Amino acid sequence: MELGYTPKEQAFRDEVRAFLRDSLPKEISRKVLEHKKLGKADIMRWHKILYAKGWVAPHWPVAHGGTGWSVVERHIWEAEAAEAGAPPLIPFSVTMCGPVILRFGNEAQKKFYPPRMLSGEHVWCQGFSEPGSGSDLASLRTRAARQGDHYIVDGQKTWTTFAHYADWIFCLVRTDPSAKKQEGISFLLIDLKTPGITVRPIITMEGGHEVNEVFFDNVRVPVENLVGEENKGWNYAKFLLGNERTGIARVGASKRELKRLKDIASTEPGDHGPLIASPRFRDKIAALEIELMALEITDLRMIAALRDGRAPGAEASILKIRGSEIQQRLTELMMEAVGPYALPFQPETLADGWNGEPLGPDYAAALAPRYFNYRKTSIYGGSNEIQKNIVAKATLGL
């Protein structure tokens, strides 16, 4: 595997850097780099800038709005965008549902949904997890009963990220209660304006509103909103989750945060000068950096496999496991680096318009909320325990 960039790829990296320098709004990148809260307007503003450039969906086929980039160029884009402080787009349309529709949807669905995902006209969320059906997703109980040319959907989804922003939700629903649990599931596209749908916020421990509960009470969904074949939704979900778990590694963002950790440790005083001078703390940073380098190599190995036409395998689960653990470790070491200044829990300092005085350095106030928020990374997208089972079965044959 060749890890160096070709002259063409280096030129592409220069093009990406120039675009980010000229087009990424400074006030948005500042929020990302300083761990401030991003609103829907911030994310969609960046989405529309990328749409105008034609760079919203690099991994889509060119015929449907993709860029035609190689897998290496996509890797370069993701790494450079993360380092520059570009906000991640809401992933549920372009990264998750869009590829499923383009792969398994009918022609009418391909013509209607993907263009509106690209433009940002439709914002999507994911309806997979349910109370009692998270890691064991195939045990889901939301039902869709066929009545003529509609499905009648009843049930509940939970931990639904950005449902309060979304126009549409893609859902796994049980269409054959008598079948084995993986074999009776279908993949439905549901307009959130449909009568009978209620979105209720879940406020997480750091005071943020990212996730929600979504209730379906006798919701009528046209049969034409079924993706692929009835009762084959589990296959489509596995295809979607393979793509999602790859992105969860967030190597570029972790490299950016590692630099920030080093900056904080170089500023915060220890017993004998800056904390970075402490051999014990420096060893912790070095160990984490080695882990991140190994993760990046694994990411590049998977990129090489994709370049050769192979689908993501157990590598996607490995990336998800180690990527989420590294993200959590970064937040832990930042908290340790600022010491007592990490204790005051001031989530209000992250909001737009706040002009009070934080307790301690400006950057310290965001660290506790971020630490709490990142406890979720080892759970969403399939818990790390489940991912280890996947690796054991796929790689070790256990």
3-state helix, strand, coil in the chain (%, to 5): 55, 15, 30
Q: How many helices (H) and strands (E) does the chain have?
A: 13, 10
| 212 pLDDT more than 80 | yes
| 232 pLDDT more than 80 | yes
Structure confidence at residue 366 as a pLDDT band (50, 70, 90)? confident
**Which one is catalytic: 80, 130, 206, 244?**
244
| pTM metric for this prediction | 0.88
Structure confidence at residue 58 as a pLDDT band (50, 70, 90)? very high
CB atoms within 10 A of CB 159: 21
| 313 pLDDT more than 70 | no
79-88 pLDDT, tens digit per residue, is 999 999 999 9
Structure confidence at residue 72 as a pLDDT band (50, 70, 90)? confident
Dist. CA 249–CA 270, nearest whole Å: 32
| 245 pLDDT more than 60 | no
Using CA of residue 262, residue 267, residue 272, residue 275, what is the dihedral sign? negative
Write down the pLDDT at residue 192.
98
User: In the CATH scheme, what is the homologous superfamily, with its name and number, of domain 249-396?
Assistant: Butyryl-CoA Dehydrogenase, subunit A, domain 3 (1.20.140.10)
Structure confidence at residue 307 as a pLDDT band (50, 70, 90)? low
Dist. CA 251–CA 82, nearest whole Å: 9
User: CATH 2.40.110.10 occupies which residues in the chain?
Assistant: 107-113+120-231
106-145 pLDDT, tens digit per residue, is 999 999 999 999 999 999 999 999 998 877 788 999 999 9
Write down the pLDDT at residue 273.
62
Tell me 86's DSSP state: P
CB-CB contact of 53 with 19 (8 Å)? yes
- CA distances for 47 relative to 26, 55, 119, 227, 305, angstroms: 15, 9, 8, 25, 29
Structure confidence at residue 242 as a pLDDT band (50, 70, 90)? low
Residue 183 designated active-site: no
CATH number of 107-113+120-231: 2.40.110.10
Write down the pLDDT at residue 306.
67
328-356 pLDDT, tens digit per residue, is 999 999 999 888 888 777 777 777 767 76
Dist. CA 339–CA 325, nearest whole Å: 21
262-306 pLDDT, tens digit per residue, is 998 888 665 556 788 888 999 999 999 999 999 988 887 777 776
CB atoms within 10 A of CB 134: 18
User: CATH 1.20.140.10 occupies which residues in the chain?
Assistant: 249-396
